[in-house]
Amino acid sequence: MSEVVARVPGSAEEVFAILADGWSYGHWVVGSTHMRGVDPEWPAAGARIHHSVGAWPLTIQDTTTVLAAEPPRLLELEAGLRPFGRARIRLELCGVNADTTEVRMTETVTSGPGRLIPAPLLALLLRPRNQESLARLSDLIGGRYRPAP
């Protein structure tokens, strides 16, 4: 398991609006290179985003599914990266004040060969990627990214 925390500019509602825009994931999730589609129900439980990971021509196509959504404080996802397995990602939002939100991102590998990697080593591998993802999320919000209507 890997857990990272970052304070980002904006209210929890503003941050959740970015998370609620499935098309934004290609901008802030490290490794996601192309968004192929977003279910219209996103971010409702069961909705999926369809993405590609990797550099062309060596891309893998997979999906991320919403497990739970409680706007504006929680989004829990199951992300895939076949054939390497699946992971559960939990994004918890806590308003620090009207202009700042603390985002806690927890990732747990749930299936596939990644489960064979010892937990401390896996955390060392995931932590920098997840820190960068939250830094990119912060940049999107700080740049006043506008989710699609």
Span 5-51, pLDDT tens digits: 999 999 999 999 999 999 999 999 998 888 999 999 999 999 999 99
> Quick one: DSSP state of residue 11?
-
C-beta of residue 106 within 8 angstroms of C-beta of residue 89: yes
Which residue ranges form the domains of the chain, and what is each CATH number? 2-142 (3.30.530.20)
Span 48-98, pLDDT tens digits: 999 988 777 888 889 999 999 999 999 999 998 766 789 999 999 999 999
Question: How many other C-beta atoms can be found within 10 angstroms of the C-beta atom of residue 135?
Answer: 14
pTM: 0.91
C-beta of residue 140 within 8 angstroms of C-beta of residue 27: yes
Binned at pLDDT 50, 70 and 90, residue 116 comes out as confident
Query: SS3 for 85?
Result: coil
Q: 66 is written with which tokens? A: 């919403």
Binned at pLDDT 50, 70 and 90, residue 110 comes out as very high
Span 125-137, pLDDT tens digits: 889 999 999 999 9
pLDDT value at residue 57? 81
pLDDT value at residue 60? 85
pLDDT value at residue 144? 64
CA 129 to chain centre: 11
